Structure 1
Amino acid sequence: MTEISRRSVLRAAGGAGLGLLAAPALAACGSSAAAPLRSGHATISLWTHDPGYIKTFQDACKDPQLMRGSRFDYSVKPTTAAGSDVVTRMIAQAVADGDTPDLAGLIVDQFPRVMNAGIAENLFVDLRDTVRPFGDDLLKLAPYTVGKVPYALDSDNSITVLYYRQDLFDKYKVPEAVETWEEFLEHGERLAKDHKTSIGMVSTGDNGAIVNGLNQFLLQRGAGFFNAAGDLTLDTPEALEVLEFMTRGVRSGALLALPDPYGSACAAALKSGRLAATAMPNWYNAYGLQANVPDQEGRWRMRTLPRFQGGGHIGSTLGGTGIAVLKDKPHTEAALELLKRVYLTREGQLLRYRNGGFLPTLEPLYRDPELTAVEDDYLGGQRVFDVYGKAAADLPLFYQAPGMQILTDVLGGPVLDALKGRTSPAAALKAGLKAYRQQVKG
């Protein structure tokens, strides 16, 4: 496809309602007519919301072992913006034939914005040939796939585990190896009644947090919002079962209803001991627990998730950021090689874990001696990859569709009504499904 026709597609997509905005901060002119760089110094422009990814790529460029044999001498030119702004500005610049990045960090819940109208196809490098040698060993491609074509590699496997206060479990006689959520909820109901303590949390804040919480449990149950074809799969027994589980937990106090799982109310619950456990991804250790209750070091542990009696997995996932390579640019070849070195090699994945705690997306690394020996002081010296390895071997696939953000907008309110007891779980799902189908035809 020519550059002119590509921009025509992007302009048409903008007119179809992608909400493109002017981007004066990133409006420097770029030239897609320049010859592709084949070797030598390559300054790779990276747009991302997270300084951790900037540090990772910059450190990788200075790592002699990781860069051995490369035709390129790399440096990274970063631009930091809010996650939604990265996508908005990138598309706006592409429409205007402006200065798009070489690498773009796409938060997982922003990726659906490029899944429609040929946006991903026209902006990003098709990664099928890049990932083919890894087969099923490469995890978490599904959320960044459009029409069976992957366009980004995730930066973190974002494995959801159960964090719990071992001292409080001992004090209140909660077994650490409870097998099912249903049994675990019974213990939570007892703790809520007798000690005003909860064994999990449910978000009642913004639509995104509410729907993400539902999706985390739903994926674990073996279902999801969409299937591989992009069809909505909300009208299922599993979805009803999960929402009933959540509402029962909130009603009894076993699950603590919080407006924000990262805000002051959650911090207060952690500090007071009212929240003795929570199902959250690996990154919550640093950004949720250690950030809010550093003095509780040594009291927390983690384990794989209890199963649902009806089936599913012992792990789930929440969050993530895919890195995509912009196509047909002078530095496209160099940027793709850099991405492969940092994201598809053992050395690169170890560097990412050491730098920011980003879990590997290559499954064999969960058995790598350097990682299996890792002990977490905050978790009482626990060997964390004993848990991550089991969960990584049983993670659900997470599919997205162009209508994901619409679903989030229309489903958040009904789910909140169910959690608050204003409607039934069945009625909430029915309302969300109806509203989605009114807005997304076909």
Structure 2
Amino acid sequence: MTLNRRGLLAGATGIGAAGLGALAACSSPTAGEPLRSGRADLTLWTHDPGYATFFTDAAADAGLVGDSAWTYSVAVTSVAPPDIISRLINQAVAQRPLPNMAGLELGQFPRMMRDGIAENLLADLTPLTDALGDGLLKTQPYTVDGKVYALESDNSVSVLFYRADEFERLGIPADVATWEELLDIGAQVAADTGQAIGMVSNGGNTEIVQGYMQALFQRGGGLYDADGDLIVLSEENIEVLELMARGVSTGALLPLADPYGSATAAALKESRLIATVMPNWYKVYGLEANVPDQAGLWRARTIPRYANGGGIASTLGGTAFGVVKDQVLTDAALDFLQRCYLTPEGQLARYAAGAYLPTLADLYDTPDFQNLTDPYLGDQRIFEVYGAAAAELPVFYQAADLAVLRDSLGGPILRALNGQTGAEDALREGVDAYERQVSP
């Protein structure tokens, strides 16, 4: 059978493709009779050396794979997040070797949702995930037509990190109940001291929209529903943008181009930014990396609720791993991924290797996690916070044209944050721009 090479290459660049069904029936240099047991030398593409180290070590961990029918090794190739999907498609078109497993960054995964790419490239993981039901968190962003094609590595649970010493000095209660109340307090703090109790992005479209999405998911809003239809103009979405704009106007929220950039580092070091909602991994990559001398001063808590509804947690970012289908080692790779990602032992090993939070909901309440303390956070029992947040982790959905929507919304959202236009008008402008580019 002949591959539709034009269609696949179009898919690699995000242009509409046709005839991708041919991929599933075509052989590649790694296709053949499945290996049912024996030595399995797996190949893995990922952007993060942390995942490379974890999977390499896991292959030799008797506690994880000792009773497997396969004996594993893992060879890793480092590939930038935007390039992994393009390379997967290009390799398939060229009939060249594909990896057995690939790490798919959450924001890039929507490209797999176009024109059957996920279905034709990746093994359906639903038989592994169905048995876990709601006990397995964060499968929705990697679901296409009801089938799960990748497993999340870290729930990326967003909480409120705050400077306990500054909150005490300024008289800010650590248990403020609502965002509205916290923003009122933040406005007074900003007027008195110039300090901010949160940040928003005013950088590129991706950063702007991701920051908005994090706030949005907590409120119960989203960009798409389960059917892939836009829900951008919902009451929740408008309310969240209005609240963010209010925070910026009073100084409670500090506009910064990049949550990981030099300006943010300076704001942290100078104690101008004394709180921020970010995922669990920001403690390592944002706080510890930029202000190691502030160890012991920071704490974490669940996010204050919105007065009109929503939960106490959100999420931002993530990386999931999928298995390339119809290869000699596909069954071996599925077994390996299941052991690493869908067992308590694998999730404990992941946390020990890189502080990746469990995706199995029940684990948050076990002594293995509840008894952990965090020195940077003043020896806080951090899973008391993460566990409460994970119990209300919001569900959200993606769609194939998310990149177009991000680029359409970025500018209007920034203008709303700056007070140059109203929230509803900004979102409507973004939707209109999106719909002009995306066929119904």
Using structure 2 for the length normalisation, give the TM-score. 0.95
Q: Which of 234, 237, 243 is residue 236 of structure 1 equivalent to?
A: 234
Indicate whether 1:372 and 2:375 are aligned. no
Q: What is residue 297 of structure 1 aligned with on the other side? A: 295
Q: How far off its partner does 1:68 sit?
A: 2.3
Alpha-carbon displacement from aligned partner over 1:243-295 (angstroms, at most 9, x marks no partner): 01111111111000001110000000000100010000000000000000000
1:300/1:378 contact within 8 Å kept? yes
List runs of 5+ in structure 1 lacking aligned partners.
Answer: 21-28
1:200/1:254 contact within 8 Å kept? yes
Q: Which of 347, 368, 373 is residue 349 of structure 1 equivalent to?
A: 347
SS of the residue 1:382 aligns to: coil
Mapping for residues 214-253 of structure 1, pairs under 5 Å = 214-253=212-251
1:235/1:430 contact within 8 Å kept? yes
Q: What is residue 39 of structure 2 aligned with on the other side? A: 41
Indicate whether 1:410 and 2:405 are aligned. no
Q: What is residue 98 of structure 2 aligned with on the other side? A: 100
Alpha-carbon RMSD: 1.3
2:269/2:291 contact within 8 Å kept? yes
Q: How far off its partner does 1:439 sit?
A: 1.1
Output the CA distance in 2 between the equivalents of 1:274 and 1:293. Answer: 13
Aligned length: 429
Indicate whether 1:12 and 2:17 are aligned. no
Output the CA distance in 2 between the equivalents of 1:95 and 1:187. Answer: 57
Q: What is residue 140 of structure 2 aligned with on the other side? A: 142
Q: What is residue 71 of structure 2 aligned with on the other side? A: 73
Q: What is residue 205 of structure 2 aligned with on the other side? A: 207
With over 3 angstroms needed to count, the CA separation of the structure-2 counterparts of 1:301 and 1:16, relative to structure 1, is: closer
SS of the residue 2:273 aligns to: coil
SS of the residue 2:74 aligns to: strand
Q: What is residue 187 of structure 1 aligned with on the other side? A: 185
Q: Which of 253, 256, 259 is residue 255 of structure 1 equivalent to?
A: 253
Q: What is residue 81 of structure 2 aligned with on the other side? A: 83
Give percent identity, aligned residues only: 53
Q: How far off its partner does 1:13 sit?
A: 4.2
Output the CA distance in 1 between the equivalents of 2:73 and 2:66. Answer: 15
With over 3 angstroms needed to count, the CA separation of the structure-2 counterparts of 1:353 and 1:33, relative to structure 1, is: closer
Alpha-carbon displacement from aligned partner over 1:74-117 (angstroms, at most 9, x marks no partner): 11110111100111111111111111111000000000001010
1:38/1:334 contact within 8 Å kept? yes
Moved more, 32-41 or 357-366: 32-41
1:13/1:117 contact within 8 Å kept? no
Indicate whether 1:422 and 2:423 are aligned. no
Output the CA distance in 1 between the equivalents of 2:107 and 2:373. Answer: 31
SS of the residue 1:364 aligns to: helix
Q: How far off its partner does 1:19 sit?
A: 5.1
SS of the residue 2:377 aligns to: coil
Output the CA distance in 1 between the equivalents of 2:192 and 2:97. Answer: 60
Indicate whether 1:319 and 2:317 are aligned. yes
Runs of 4+ displaced beyond 4 Å: none
With over 3 angstroms needed to count, the CA separation of the structure-2 counterparts of 1:71 and 1:17, relative to structure 1, is: closer
Q: How far off its partner does 1:11 sit?
A: 3.9
Output the CA distance in 2 between the equivalents of 1:38 and 1:329. Answer: 12
Q: How far off its partner does 1:36 sit?
A: 1.7
Output the CA distance in 1 between the equivalents of 2:39 and 2:404. Answer: 43
List runs of 5+ in structure 2 lacking aligned partners.
Answer: 16-26
Indicate whether 1:336 and 2:331 are aligned. no
- AA aligned opposite 1:367: D
With over 3 angstroms needed to count, the CA separation of the structure-2 counterparts of 1:311 and 1:74, relative to structure 1, is: same
Q: How far off its partner does 1:17 sit?
A: 7.1
Q: What is residue 24 of structure 1 aligned with on the other side? A: none
Using structure 1 for the length normalisation, give the TM-score. 0.95
Q: What is residue 165 of structure 2 aligned with on the other side? A: 167
1:154/1:320 contact within 8 Å kept? yes
Q: Which of 275, 278, 303 is residue 277 of structure 1 equivalent to?
A: 275
Q: How far off its partner does 1:14 sit?
A: 2.7
1:161/1:305 contact within 8 Å kept? yes
